[in-house]
Amino acid sequence: MVVVVSGGRIQSYEIELVREDGEEVEPDLRWFPLGGLPPVGKVPFRIRRKRAGSGMSY
């Protein structure tokens, strides 16, 4: 599944990493010369729409 969120709407969502084993997400250092560090392996996550009035306003 591909998730695309436009820049103006990203403040409307919460993204939570779902790691049941309690370990940190490790960066894949093979990509270091290119400037982007994706995670090693798959990382489960949950996306929720923020409730009205919650969170910070920008």
* Mean pLDDT, rounded, for 12-38: 82
Give the separation between CA 38 and CA 27, rounded to whole angstroms.
6
46-57 tens-digit pLDDT: 898 887 765 555
Dihedral angle over CA of 49, 54, 56, 58, nearest 10: 60
At 34 the pLDDT is 79
* 30 has pLDDT over 80: yes
Q: Is 27 helix (H, G, I), strand (E, B) or coil?
A: strand
pLDDT in tens, 13-25: 888 888 777 778 8
**Percentage of the chain with pLDDT > 70?**
72
Contact 26, 40 (CB under 8 A): yes
| pLDDT of res. 4 | 52
Q: Which of 49, 43, 45, 53 is nearest to 14 (CA)?
A: 49
